[in-house]
């Protein structure tokens, strides 16, 4: 079985990306796993702090581990958007394959200091699969809400002057030793009514040329397939999708409940929601892999 970093490096070499999909429930995990299995592609399950609190920090790790072992599937678990060293440590201790320390809202110096502390701790541990734990960090603020937005979040880096610069990115990577970097390149968390802003695909390439490590595109819900593909060509090797999955799941559930008003078995009325989510995962994976 390949390690996560091996899958990421292979994707980068092929100018493709590993899909990262957030979940909040067990059927969400199965939606992502089944879509990736159908396409024979590696995939990352993401659980943010709030999602981990709901699913269970260790429970999520054990479920993903069981799927990986039972199916021989390249499926990995990431502790998405973690805002403190203590919560990063919690995920590492639970055996996650990857963690993201998100100090983008802090000062540059505070972000570097805590990110390095996370890297140092991860180096002395292994995931449940026995592989080194991958550490990612964010540089540049892109908002924090995976929902439908009426406007771009205040302070989000959507102008060239606000975006992550290649110089800051290089210094950050050198000073922290992170394996992956998530820069602000016009991307935002959530989906903006009326359409998300265009991504600065040239900035992506400039940052990748400077740092030389795989980049991660957060907040890809609402972005065009063309923008996502250009970011992958420029250096992105992991693409995050969350809000579109939540919308699909909710819409599928509302439709299921309205069409089956007398059904009381959760595994029956939840299935259409799971399948709606699975369909979106499949569509996004095709985009990320050149289809």
pLDDT at position 194: 54
Closest CA to 13 of 291, 214, 199: 214
> Which residues are identified as catalytic?
80
Is the pTM higher than 0.85? yes
pLDDT at position 250: 95
User: 89 CB contacts (<8 Å, ≥6 apart)?
Assistant: 121
The DSSP H or E segment spanning 263 is: none
Confidence of residue 193 (pLDDT cuts 50, 70, 90): low
Q: Token match 């265009």: residue?
A: 198
Question: For 97-136, what is the HEC assignment?
Answer: CEEEECCCCCCHHHHHHHHHHHHHHHHCCECCCCCECEEE
When pLDDT is averaged across residues 29-40 and rounded to a whole number, the result is 98
- Is the confidence at residue 161, as pLDDT, over 80? no
Q: Token match 């992170």: residue?
A: 178
- Is the confidence at residue 149, as pLDDT, over 50? no
Provide, rounded to the nearest whole percent, the portion of the chain with pLDDT above 70: 90
Q: What is the pLDDT of residues 107-145, one digit of tens each?
A: 989 999 999 999 999 999 999 999 999 999 998 876 656
List of domains in the chain = 4-288 (3.20.20.70)
When pLDDT is averaged across residues 156-185 and rounded to a whole number, the result is 88
- Is the confidence at residue 241, as pLDDT, over 60? yes
């Amino acid at each position: 079985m390949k390690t996560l970093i091996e899958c990421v490096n292979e994707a980068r070499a092929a100018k493709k990306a590993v899909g990262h999909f957030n979940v909040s429930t067990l059927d969400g995990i199965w939606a992502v796993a089944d879509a990736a299995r159908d396409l024979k592609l590696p995939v990352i399950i993401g659980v943010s702090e709030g999602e981990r609190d709901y699913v269970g920090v260790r429970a999520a790790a054990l479920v993903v581990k069981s799927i990986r072992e039972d199916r021989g599937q390249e499926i990995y678990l990431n502790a998405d958007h973690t805002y403190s060293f203590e919560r990063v440590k919690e995920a590492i201790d639970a055996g996650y394959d990857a963690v993201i320390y998100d100090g983008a809202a802090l000062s540059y110096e505070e972000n570097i200091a805590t990110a390095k502390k996370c890297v140092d701790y991860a180096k002395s541990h292994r995931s449940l699969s026995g592989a080194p734990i991958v550490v990612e960090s964010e540089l540049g603020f892109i908002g924090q809400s995976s929902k439908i937005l009426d406007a771009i979040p205040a302070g989000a880096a959507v102008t060239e002057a606000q975006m992550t610069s290649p110089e800051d990115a290089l210094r950050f990577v050198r000073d922290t030793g992170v394996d992956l970097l998530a820069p602000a390149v016009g991307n935002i968390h959530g989906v903006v009514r009326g359409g998300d802003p265009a991504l600065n695909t040239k900035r992506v390439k400039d940052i990748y040329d400077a740092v030389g490590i795989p980049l991660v595109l957060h907040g890809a819900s609402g972005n065009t397939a063309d923008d996502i593909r250009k970011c992958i060509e420029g250096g992105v090797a992991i693409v995050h999708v969350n809000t579109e999955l939540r919308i699909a799941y909710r819409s599928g559930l509302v439709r299921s409940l309205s069409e089956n008003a007398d059904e009381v078995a959760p595994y029956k009325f939840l299935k259409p929601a799971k399948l709606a989510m699975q369909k979106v995962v499949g569509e996004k994976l095709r985009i990320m892999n050149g289809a």
